[in-house]
Structure formats: C-alpha cells, structure tokens
Amino acid sequence: MSAIEAVIFDWGGTLTRWHDVDFHAESVALAQAVRTTPSPDDDHHAHAERLHRAGDIVWGRSRDHQQSSTIADLFTEAGLDHDPDLLRAYYEFWEPHTLTDPEVRPMWEELRSRGIKVGVLSNTIWPREWHVGFFERDGVYDLVDGDVYSSEIPWTKPSPRAFGAAMDAVGVSDPAACVYVGDRLFDDVWGAHNAGLRAIHVPLSSIPAEQVGHTEGDPDASVTSLARIPDVVRSWDDGASAG
C-alpha cells in the first residue's frame, strides 16, 4: 500500500453538515433571477416549476452520464433567460446550508502537519467564487492545497476524470496515494475506487432516492466524525511503513 500524500474531500454533506432542503422553495428563490418583460406569461411560480424540472434533468445528467452543468445551463434547460446579478435570493436561500463543520480546520491542520495535502472536489452548479467565499468566510481556505468544482470542468463524480482533475489540483499523480472522503456511496465511494483512490465514507446524510446512483461502493473506512480522519490515514500509513 502506498503512503498517503493527499486527502480530497467532498463538500456538501461532508465538509458541511447535511441539511434537508425544500427544493420547491429553492426554485422559487432561483426564479427571481429570471429576466422578464411585461407579459401575461411572466408567472413567477410557473418559472419556478420549470426550473425545478430543469434541476431534475441537470442532476440526472450528472448521475447517469457524469455531465457537468452550471447555473446558466439550468436556466437554459428551463427555457428561461436570467440575469446573474439577480441571483441574490438564490444565494441567500442556500447560505445557511453552507457553514463549514467546526471539525474541519483542526482536522486539516493535523493532516497538513504530517505533510499530507488537502483537496476539495465537489459536484456543483455554483461558480468557484461562491465556494471559495464560503471557505474564506469560515477561515479554512488557507489550508486547501487544491480545489475543483464540477461547474468548471466537463465532468462530475463519479467520473475518473473528475477525480483526476482533483489530483492534478493538489499535485499528486498516484491515485493509490490519495484518499477521497464523502457522504455518497455512489459518487464518492464507488467513484473514488473506480479511479484508484481509497475512500472514507461519512454516513450522516439522507441522500434523496432520485440522487442515488446505480452502484453502492464499499468504503475502506467509515467515520461519523471528521476528527477521526487523521487517525484512519495514520493507520494506513503505518501499515504501508510496516509492509
């Protein structure tokens, strides 16, 4: 077994605590960014319904074809024009769900103190600057060696290319020297194994049935506290040294 050089993390439900989300309310907030003209057809709730259906299609492409999308793609799928400057309501809807778990900073500090790089790989339609802003707000971005968001690459997890992009971002070429940490058995665990990485599962999320993929991976380890991750990685490194 190779010594661990990098630990790469999922974001939502892993670095943030899992929250149940009202996706209808999300679509209503998103619909406020629709660029409209005075017309009988400018029905805010109808726009929200179209965006909700578009969201199902966009995330279905991610699940089934590992095809990435952006917020703009979501509006395009809904057949609606939008103004990015009007996304404030959508951003504010999500912001309470973006808080970094308090265990993240000390856990990342411990990993980095042992010379292990820290990375992030997230399936998201949001722009990079939103995610970076959340990490900066919570005082942890200085500990990130490399981060990749699917909105800026062509693929989503579980595509091996998405994991490869994250490895490139942290500067590690050997998948066997990398660990991926996530809350989803398809995207994160099966995907990591399929790309040659080891996987740690954080089984604290209630994954909606429509987001569950075709395969459930068998993790190399499971933790219910992020603080346990350095100990798991240390045990693997000790095993590699002994071998």
Please tell me whether residue 21 adopts helix, strand or coil conformation: coil
Three-state secondary structure readout of 34-90 = ECCCCCCCCCHHHHHHHHHHHHHHHHHHHHHHCECCCHHHHHHHHCCCECHHHCHHH
> Which has the closest alpha carbon to 15: 230, 204, 231?
204
Q: Is-cis flag, bond preceding 158, omega within 30?
A: yes
The rounded distance, in Å, linking the Cα atoms of 8 and 11 is 10
Q: What is the pLDDT of residues 106-138, one digit of tens each?
A: 999 999 999 999 999 999 999 999 999 999 999
| For residue 178, pLDDT beyond 90 | yes
| For residue 40, pLDDT beyond 60 | no
The rounded distance, in Å, linking the Cα atoms of 97 and 126 is 14
Amino acid letter, residue 154: P
Question: CA torsion 194→195→196→199, rounded to 10°?
Answer: -70
CA atoms within 13 A on the CB side of 108: 23
Burial zone of 158 (CB within 10 Å; 0-12 exposed, 13-18 middle, 19+ buried): buried
Per the DSSP assignment, residues forming a β-bridge with 179 are 7, 198
Superfamily of domain 6-17+99-242 in the CATH hierarchy: HAD superfamily/HAD-like (3.40.50.1000)
In percent, the amount of the chain with pLDDT more than 70 equals 95
The rounded distance, in Å, linking the Cα atoms of 156 and 171 is 20
| For residue 243, pLDDT beyond 90 | no
Q: Where are the domains of the chain?
A: 6-17+99-242, 23-96
81 and 34 in contact (C-beta within 8 Å)? yes
The rounded distance, in Å, linking the Cα atoms of 213 and 97 is 23
Q: What is the pLDDT of residue 185?
A: 94
Question: Average of pLDDT values for 189-208?
Answer: 92
C-alpha distance from residue 106 to each of 44, 113, 139, 196, 205 (Å): 44, 10, 11, 27, 22
